[in-house]
Amino acid sequence: MKTVLITGANGNLGAAVTQTFLENGYRVVATVLAESMLNDLGTHPNLSVEVVNLMDETATENFVKSLIDTYRQLDAALLLVGGFAMGGIADTPAADIDKQISLNFKTAYHVTRPVFSQMMEKGSGRIVFIGARPALEPASGQHLVAYGLSKSLLFKLAEYLNESAKGKNVMAAVVAPSTLDTPLNRQSMPDVDPGKWVKPAALAEILEFIVSEKGSPLRESVYKVYNNA
């Protein structure tokens, strides 16, 4: 049974991803931010939910090491924690960029360092980052400067990891969705057709494909999951 780590597991995307992986026979270690969130995902014999502050590098490293001690190997890490912020250059002080980098990049980086080291030692593993369209397209990113810049770092990090992992069965992928079809997005954009957006369950299936044996030949992968948005 493969063991996967899913961060931000109680969000709209995280809950769908956790369910999909459990349904496909994985052992899932899910992280949440607070004790009050421990029961958000329900119960399952192959599910373990842990409270971890991923902005704390030392705490995160110790957490990952404890998982490796327990399960011997993490086969995949799906790094879903993140945040969003509006604003163009004129509206975006450096403090906002720092905040978005902490949410969208550092939370992933703190997990990636010890996970990648273990995967390289074992010779196999998958790390999946959630990118964003504004990090790839200037037309949309110009109004989301802090968010787009923070997400762009994940694409570059994946390139560095894949260069280091050449010749091994270790791969970092970035999945960049357009707007997700969530209750919050429907409420905030009532005039937009949600049928054009990406459903969390559909994105979860793509993430599972990347991690599965079917995705084993993939290398240096970037997925633009835009639907018709």
Per-residue pLDDT averaged across 187-209, rounded?
A: 93
Per-residue pLDDT averaged across 111-135, rounded?
A: 97
Domain count, the chain: 1
Q: Side-chain half-sphere of 8: how many Cα atoms within 13 Å?
A: 20
- pLDDT reported for residue 188: 84
Q: Running DSSP on this structure, what letter comes out for residue 33?
A: S
- pLDDT reported for residue 185: 86
Mean pLDDT of the chain: 95
Q: Side-chain half-sphere of 219: how many Cα atoms within 13 Å?
A: 12
- Residue-wise over 152-162: b if at least 16 C-beta within 10 A, else e? bbbbebbeebb
Q: 151: burial class by Cβ within 10 Å (0-12, 13-18, 19+)?
A: buried
Task: For residue 37, give both structure tokens.
Answer: 């969130």
Q: Running DSSP on this structure, what letter comes out for residue 87?
A: B
CATH of the domain at 168: 3.40.50.720
The share of the chain scoring above pLDDT 90, in percent, equals: 90
Q: What is the pLDDT of residues 2-34, one digit of tens each?
A: 999 999 999 999 999 999 999 999 999 999 999
Range of 144's domain? 3-225
